[in-house]
Structure 1
């Protein structure tokens, strides 16, 4: 195929993907587009570092995963991999082969290996956002940026089985079962400060959705120097330590008294004078709601009290221009500053009921919803 014909083929493939993205607005077509073999192709295509339309494929998967049945399917789908020493990930996803994602030459001769797809998608999501920006896409590990995978993970964590996946220890390297165990959620935390709104917003939603699982609050908050378990799993792994990643986007350039400064996580101590708060109000609200969810257990409230949360959210409240966020911050402060009597003395006595933070409340404005 000559260069002009290849460019024309790329344009046709681009338009086809775009059409499929638009079609997912129609719920009647989602079932057809969620057929297992197509989902396996879509996941495999995204996983292939050479896929030039992986961002559109990620967008399509994001739209499809808004349906619970697709989320359930993504938790169990396995993809076929062949060893490929020339690939940045050292594997070739067999079902990714197509016109815009050619097979390696020479074609691997080994037997394919079936691997659970979701850990691979998380790995691809991380690899596609290098710590140092590389302008030339041809020099990146992945041709796509895969920001929309954050929305896929957010959708998956709206169902209990999805939260359980992100809160169950797995080998840190999805290609090597012998590596140390870690919670999959840990891999996403660094992106709460990413420059792309879709990526950091989706990750913020994943953290918030995981906070709905109250037995996970201790593991979510403790640092990596302490091991924790999340029922129903009995497997221990280093703590997830979400607080710095939730609190930092809400922090501004304010200076605190030294005594208050020492309460804060290390990442929030002595911030530069040009520190900016999260600019997107939806994401700011998501982080505040995460901390409200953590307040539904006595242990969570005590942890927030002793780690400087009040000082940061007080400064946030003084500078906040969005009424809804200000109201939620006030609720958070009420939880942190309230008197703890005998009825709240034991951890776990206050549980989330129908995705509400305030118990026995019929006020629609007080509800926190999974996103």
Structure 2
């Protein structure tokens, strides 16, 4: 005999709207506590939930929420992400400016990108709504939706912030990185430059996803000259502004910094999330892979900014990557004299009384170089 819970799952596909609504509403908590009940009969409940995504607003909302919760299961994740008809249907609803559950659909699509083969979305094509002003490539539509839809500008019910996590996962693949670095014919814009402007956005989700996307794309070492060029991607202002506070620097250092960093207001604050700052510093670390990158970062006086970040933000992961970054800048270049230009290694030590009491975990500068065997930056 089926249990009451199993019978409730069977009601997902009931012909009566009220019965379906009660079923999915009551099943939401069980999608977290007992996900196995949705895997019966060769995932038949999952097939039914896919159909409910197109149902009435509240039913669709609960169905999408259940699928978001269940997408952590590998078998269900693959079933959802590999279903191109379902993905195409989701895209149609996402790009509809009147879709009430667009944010939940964005979250679900971002979760599905954990299945590596969802990168097929890079080649998926479908008609775009006229309001979006995009082309027929699904990935272009999602990027334009993310840009135009910020803060409810495209759909009053959605901000599409979670799409930034989708972009970060797509950028883990070589094909994805190439997409973000290739100027698109329909608008003559490099896709990555559409995202960089959001590194100081008010949404933590949007900033975090964009930071991770930029970092993953930066693994394309051959494209670093484009990253650094002011008339191309010009990534440095968008990496340095979020990690810069209201500190005052020596006049010589200030004058050498990027123009964007020279006239900051006295109330300028660095990003409130240390993990986002860490991601930006890791991207800067990737840019030191080439001699050009190291020279540019030295020339525009990134070191003082990293020094102050290291000193002011109490976060072990961030401080460790700051130390590794400075060690790279300090290293001798082959056949040349020392290039530290006043830079000092950053290391853990308590602050001296003359510097002010910093408490546990405070940091100061020291002259000795530290071992930095682990300079590896991983994709996020």
Normalising by structure 1, we get a TM-score of 0.74
Q: CA RMSD in A?
A: 2.3
The structure, 1 or 2, with the larger RCO (C-alpha pairs under 8 Å, 6+ apart) is 1
Q: Which residue of 2 aligns with 1:148?
A: 162
Q: How far does residue 246 in structure 1 lie from its aligned partner after superposition?
A: 0.6
Match of 1:16 among 63, 66, 86: 63
- Paired residues, what number? 293
Provide Cα deviations, 1:321-352, integer angstroms capped at 9, x if missing partner: 112211211111111222211499xxxxxxxx
Q: Aligned ranges for residues 259-270 of structure 1 at < 5 Å?
A: 259-270=252-263
Q: How far does residue 208 in structure 1 lie from its aligned partner after superposition?
A: 0.5
Q: Which residue of 1 aligns with 2:38?
A: none
* Aligned mates of 1:195, 1:81 — CA distance in 2: 28
Q: How far does residue 21 in structure 1 lie from its aligned partner after superposition?
A: 0.6
* Aligned mates of 2:227, 2:75 — CA distance in 1: 38
Provide Cα deviations, 1:51-83, integer angstroms capped at 9, x if missing partner: 11110000000000011101x21111111246x
1:255 maps to 2:248: yes
Q: Which residue of 2 aligns with 1:50?
A: 98
Q: Which residue of 2 aligns with 1:108?
A: none
Q: Which residue of 1 aligns with 2:174?
A: 160
Q: Which residue of 1 aligns with 2:13?
A: none
1:124 maps to 2:171: no
Answer whether contact 2:122 2:139 (CA < 8 A) is retained. yes
Q: Which moved more, 1:250-259 or 1:20-29?
A: 250-259
Q: How far does residue 90 in structure 1 lie from its aligned partner after superposition?
A: 6.0
Provide Cα deviations, 1:302-335, integer angstroms capped at 9, x if missing partner: 1111122112111111212112211211111111
* Aligned mates of 1:117, 1:307 — CA distance in 2: 39
Answer whether contact 2:245 2:268 (CA < 8 A) is retained. yes
Match of 2:206 among 199, 203, 206: 199
Q: Which residue of 2 aligns with 1:170?
A: 184
1:277 maps to 2:270: yes
Q: Which residue of 2 aligns with 1:369?
A: 378
- Label 1:343 to 1:170 Cα distance change in 2 as closer, same or farther (>3 A): farther
Q: Of the two, which has the highest radius of gyration?
A: 2
* Aligned mates of 1:198, 1:215 — CA distance in 2: 29
Provide Cα deviations, 1:23-44, integer angstroms capped at 9, x if missing partner: 1010111121121111111122
* Aligned mates of 1:202, 1:73 — CA distance in 2: 20
Answer whether contact 1:255 1:270 (CA < 8 A) is retained. no
Match of 1:79 among 101, 126, 147: 126
* Aligned mates of 1:186, 1:297 — CA distance in 2: 22
Q: Which residue of 1 aligns with 2:282?
A: 289
The alignment partner of 2:165 has SS state of helix
- Label 1:266 to 1:23 Cα distance change in 2 as closer, same or farther (>3 A): same
- Label 1:320 to 1:264 Cα distance change in 2 as closer, same or farther (>3 A): same
Match of 2:218 among 211, 214, 222: 211
* Aligned mates of 2:128, 2:220 — CA distance in 1: 33
* Aligned mates of 1:145, 1:122 — CA distance in 2: 12
Answer whether contact 1:127 1:142 (CA < 8 A) is retained. no
* Aligned mates of 2:255, 2:233 — CA distance in 1: 21
The alignment partner of 2:263 has SS state of coil
The alignment partner of 2:172 has SS state of coil
Q: Which residue of 2 aligns with 1:115?
A: 136
Normalising by structure 2, we get a TM-score of 0.73
* Aligned mates of 1:45, 1:343 — CA distance in 2: 59
Q: How far does residue 205 in structure 1 lie from its aligned partner after superposition?
A: 0.5
* Aligned mates of 2:96, 2:295 — CA distance in 1: 45
Q: Which residue of 2 aligns with 1:100?
A: none
Q: How far does residue 286 in structure 1 lie from its aligned partner after superposition?
A: 0.4
The alignment partner of 1:212 has SS state of coil
* Aligned mates of 2:128, 2:272 — CA distance in 1: 40
* Aligned mates of 2:93, 2:257 — CA distance in 1: 43
* Aligned mates of 1:343, 1:64 — CA distance in 2: 49
Where in structure 2 are there 5+ consecutive unaligned residues?
Answer: 1-17, 22-55, 338-370
The alignment partner of 2:126 has SS state of strand
* Aligned mates of 2:59, 2:117 — CA distance in 1: 30
